[in-house]
Amino acid sequence: MPKQVPIVLTGFGNVGRAFLKLAREKHAFVRERYGLDLKIVAAFRSTGGAMLDDNPGAATFAASPDLKLETLPTWTPGLRLVDVLDGSLLGVLAETTPSNLKTGEPGLGYMHAALSRGWNIAAASKGAFSVDFSGLMEAARRQSLFIKFSGATAASLPTLDVATISLSGAEILGIDGILTGTTNHILGRLEEGLTFDAALREAQILGIAEPDPSMDIDGWDTACKLQLIVNAAMGTGLTLGDLAVEGIRDVTPESQRSARAEGKILKLIGRMTRDGDHLRASVAPIAIEASHPLYRVHGTNKGIAFFTDTMGTVVVTGGKSDPRGTAASMMKDIINIYR
Amino acid sequence: MPKQVPIVLTGFGNVGRAFLKLAREKHAFVRERYGLDLKIVAAFRSTGGAMLDDNPGAATFAASPDLKLETLPTWTPGLRLVDVLDGSLLGVLAETTPSNLKTGEPGLGYMHAALSRGWNIAAASKGAFSVDFSGLMEAARRQSLFIKFSGATAASLPTLDVATISLSGAEILGIDGILTGTTNHILGRLEEGLTFDAALREAQILGIAEPDPSMDIDGWDTACKLQLIVNAAMGTGLTLGDLAVEGIRDVTPESQRSARAEGKILKLIGRMTRDGDHLRASVAPIAIEASHPLYRVHGTNKGIAFFTDTMGTVVVTGGKSDPRGTAASMMKDIINIYR
C-alpha cells in the first residue's frame, strides 16, 4: 500500500501551477518508485482557496491550460489555510507565494500555521526565511517536522543536498556560487560588448529578467539563496542583514574588457569565507580566473563550489531554472521527507 | 548524550589506514556537529585482526606514522571478523579490502557476515558489488539495514547522493561520467602529444597509475563505478558482465589530434542510455564536443552528468580522489546512516 501524502499548496503563480501539473503528471511514477501517493488536497491564493481532493473536476483541472482556481466549483473566496489545516490530516505545505523580504509574509504566517499543526514544509519562497530563519527551524525542530527549501535555493541545482548530505563530516571552508541565472546572462552580454541598459532590456524582452528586475540585479536574489545555503550548511542563523550585498548595476562592458585582459571574467558571486569560526557572507561582482570552477558557467546557468578540508572542491552546475524545475525540486523535497 | 557508533574496519591498506586516521582526527567534530561518537573497535587484515577500543595504545596508534596493526598488543594472528561481530554490539562495517572482481572476496563474505548479524555497511571496495549487487541489497533490505558505497563510486564526488536523493522524482534519461582520474590524466597527456606508453609510464612514476594499471586503463574501474551508480540510480541489478567495456590502450596522440580538429576531445566515458525501460551501460573512449558538460574535466579530476526529464542536466565535478578523500566519503556514509 502506498503511503498517502496530503499536500496543501499556497500560492498559485507560475511555480504553484507548475507544481500542480507536475504532481499530476508524476503521480503514477512517484507511487511506483517511492511508494508515495501524493495528493494535493487544497490550493490557496491571496483571495481564497479551493479544495481539490474530492472535487470531480480536479483531475481534468490540472490538465487545463488556464488553470484558474476561481473556475473550480469548490473555489471559496476568503477561504484560509488554517480553515483546512485543522483536522486529522497531516502532510506537507507546499509554499510558493511571492516573497516579501521585509515582512516574510504571507509565507511566514503560512509556515508557522502549518508547523504548529504538525505539517511538514517544502518551500519555494524565500521571504519567510530571510526574516525568520532561526524561528522557523526551531519550530520545526520542536515538533520533529521537516522544513525543506530546495525550491528557494537554486531549485534543481542541488545546493542544499550537497552541502548537508554529501559533505557530511567535511568542514566547508568556503562557498562560491553563481546563484541567479538572470544576472549571469546579463554579465555575459556585457562581456560581449552590450551596455548594461541594453543587456537588461534584452533580458526583459526574452523573459529572462522581470519587469521589476531589482531583486536580481541588485543582488538580493543571490543574497537570499546564499543566506539559506550558508545557514543550512554551517548550522548558523544568518539573516539577510548580515550579508554585504552589491549588485551588477555598475558593471560596464569596459569592466568586463579589463577583466578579460587579465584572463578573468566578472561574475556575480555569492561567497562565504571563514576565519576560524567567524563566517562572512557577501554578494558582489568578482573577476574570477580561468582556473575558478565557475569560470565557464555561462548564460542563465548556475553553479556552486564548496571548498572543503577532506573532500577537496566539490562543484555542482546545471539544473533547470524554470517554474517546472522549481516544482521538480519541491517534489524532490517532499519525496525525501517521506522516504 | 552522543550516540555510540561502533565501527569495524576490514582491510588495512591505504584507504583503511586513512580511515583510521580520519576517524581519530574528526572524532570531536563529528560528535559535536552530528551527535555521533564514532569508535573503531577492531581492524582486520587478511592475516588477523586487532581490537582497538579497549587498547590503551590505540589512541596514539592512529597518530603513528607506520600504522602497522601487527605492532599492537591486541594483534591476534588468525582473528576473524565473525569472532568480533558475535556480541551485543551493533554498528557499521567499514569495508576497504582489495577487490577481486571475479569472486567478490574477501569483501563479499565480510559484508554478508556483517548484514546477517545486524551491522550496517559503508564500503570502499567494489568487488563484492560487481559479483552480487542484488544479493547484498536484498540482504540489507530484509534486515532493514543500510548498505552504502560512496567510497566505491568516485568517493568524494557525490555521484550516488545526487542520483538517489537530489534527483528524486525526476527520471534519469542518461548518465555520462568521467569516473577514473588515472585514465583521464593519461588521455590528457596524449592530447598533449605523448604516446600511450610514455604517458602511462609517466603516470606510474607520478603515482597516478598503479604498477599493474590494467584495472584502470582497460576500463574496469570505470565500469565497476558505473554499474553501481546505474543500479543505485535506476533500481536495476546490472552485473559487471552486462556492461560493454572498452579501455584506452588503443588511443593514440593521432586520435586525440583528429578529435581536436573537430573541436572535440577523447575522454573515457562511462555512459548509461535508455530506450524506454531498456537500459544500456557501456565504457569507451568517446570524442565529446566542447558543449558537453564534462569537456573541461581535466587531469585526474572526475565528473558526472545526469540528464533528466524535469531538472535539466545536473553536473557534479571535483572531489578528492586520494585515500583521504575516499576515507572522508566513507565517513560521510556512516554519518548519514545514523542521522
Q: ipTM of this model?
A: 0.95
Q: What is the mean pLDDT of residues B109-116?
A: 96
Instruction: Read off the pLDDT band of B260 (50, 70, 90).
Output: very high
Say what the pLDDT of residue A1 is: 87
Which pLDDT value is given to residue B53?
A: 75
The grid cell for A241 is 542583514
φ, ψ for residue B291 (rounded to 5)?
A: -80, -10
* Residue contact B165–A162, C-beta within 8 A: no
A284 vs B290: CA distance, rounded Å: 29
**Using H for helix, E for strand and C for coil, what is the string for B281-330?**
EEEEEEEEECCCCCCCCCCCCCEEEEEECCCCEEEEEECCCCHHHHHHHH
Cα of first residue to Cα of last residue in chain A, in angstroms, is 14
The whole-number pLDDT of residue B54 equals 64
Least confident segment among B30-44, B78-92, B110-124, B229-243? B78-92
Kind plus residue range of the DSSP H or E element containing B107: helix B107-116
Among A30, A158, A311, beta carbon nearest to B166? A158
Pairing between strand A48-51 and A75-77? antiparallel
Q: pLDDT per residue over B206-218, tens digit each?
A: 999 999 999 999 9
Report which residue type is found at A196: F
How sure is the predictor about B59, in pLDDT bands with cuts at 50, 70 and 90?
A: low
Give, as one character, the DSSP assignment of residue B162: I
- pLDDT given at position A87: 66
Residue B200 backbone dihedrals phi, psi, to 5 degrees: -65, -45
Cis peptide before A106 (omega within 30 of 0): yes
- Burial of B192: CB neighbours in 10 Å, binned 0-12, 13-18, 19+: exposed
Encoded amino acid at A84, one letter: V
Q: Examine residue B106 and say whether the peptide bond preceding it is cis (omega within 30 degrees of 0).
A: yes
Backbone φ, ψ for residue A312 (5° rounding): 70, -150
- The per-residue pLDDT for A61 is 76
pLDDT along chain A (339 residues), means of 10: 95 95 95 95 95 72 80 94 84 94 95 96 96 96 96 95 97 98 96 95 94 95 97 95 97 95 97 95 98 95 97 95 94 96
Closest residue to A311, CB basis, from B156, B311, B313: B156
Q: Which is nearest to B172 in space by CA: A160, A62, A165, A156?
A: A156
CA–CA separation, B187 vs B256, rounded Å? Answer: 8
pLDDT for residue B280? 98
CA–CA separation, A332 vs B168, rounded Å?
A: 5
How far CA A83 is from CA of A8, A53, A79, A86, in Å, comes to 12, 15, 7, 6
Smallest CA–CA distance, residue A170 to chain B, in Å, is 7
Cell 529572462 -> residue: A208
CB B55 within 8 A of CB B74: yes
Nearest to B95 by CA among B55, B152, B52: B152
- Strands (DSSP E) along A66-171, which ranges? 75-77, 92-95, 120-123, 147-148
In B, minimum Cα distance to A167 occurs at: B332
Q: List CB contacts (< 8 A) between B334 and chain A.
A: 169
| Chain B hits for A171, Cβ within 8 Å | 29
Write b or e for each residue in B50-75: b if 16 or more Cβ atoms lie within 10 A of its Cβ, otherwise e: bbbeebeebeebbeeeebebeebebb
Residue B196's nearest CA partner among B147, B135, B266 is: B266
Helix, strand or coil, per DSSP, at residue B245: strand
Who among A162, A165, A170 is closest to B328 (CB)? Answer: A170
Report how far apart, in Å, the C-alpha atoms of A258 and of each of A187, A217, B77 are: 14, 21, 67
Q: Which amino acid would we find at residue B166? A: S
Q: Which residues of chain A are at the B interface, by a Cβ-Cβ cutoff of 8 Å?
A: 22, 26, 29-30, 33-34, 156-158, 161-162, 165-171, 235, 293, 296, 305, 310-320, 324-325, 327-329, 331-332, 334-336, 339
Which residues lie closer than 8 Å to B201 by C-beta, 6 or more apart?
none
- Nearest chain B CA: its distance from A317 CA (Å): 5
CA dist., res. A229 & res. A244, Å (int): 16
- The DSSP annotation for A156-199 comes to TS-HHHIIIIITTTS-EEEEEEE--HHHHHHHHHHHTT--HHHH
Residue that is written with C-alpha cell 518551500 in the block: A123
Q: Please give the Cα distance from A271 to A282 (Å, whole number).
A: 5
pLDDT digits (tens, 9 = 90+) for B181-195: 999 999 999 999 999
Predicted local distance difference test score (pLDDT) of residue B57: 65
Chain A residues whose CB is inside 8 A of the B293 CB are: 317-318
* B339 has pLDDT over 70: yes
Q: How far apart are CA B103 and CA B121, in angstroms?
A: 19
In percent, how much of chain B has pLDDT > 90? 89
- Region B308-313: mean pLDDT is 97
Give the pLDDT of residue B67: 82
Q: Indicate whether B79 pLDDT > 70.
A: yes
Q: Which residues of A touch B156 (CB under 8 A)?
A: 170, 310-312, 314
- CB contact under 8 Å between A166 and B161, yes or no, is yes
What do you get for the CA distance between the two ends of chain B, in Å? 14
Q: Is the dihedral of CA A245, A248, A252, A254 positive or negative?
A: positive
Greater pLDDT, A327 or B56: A327
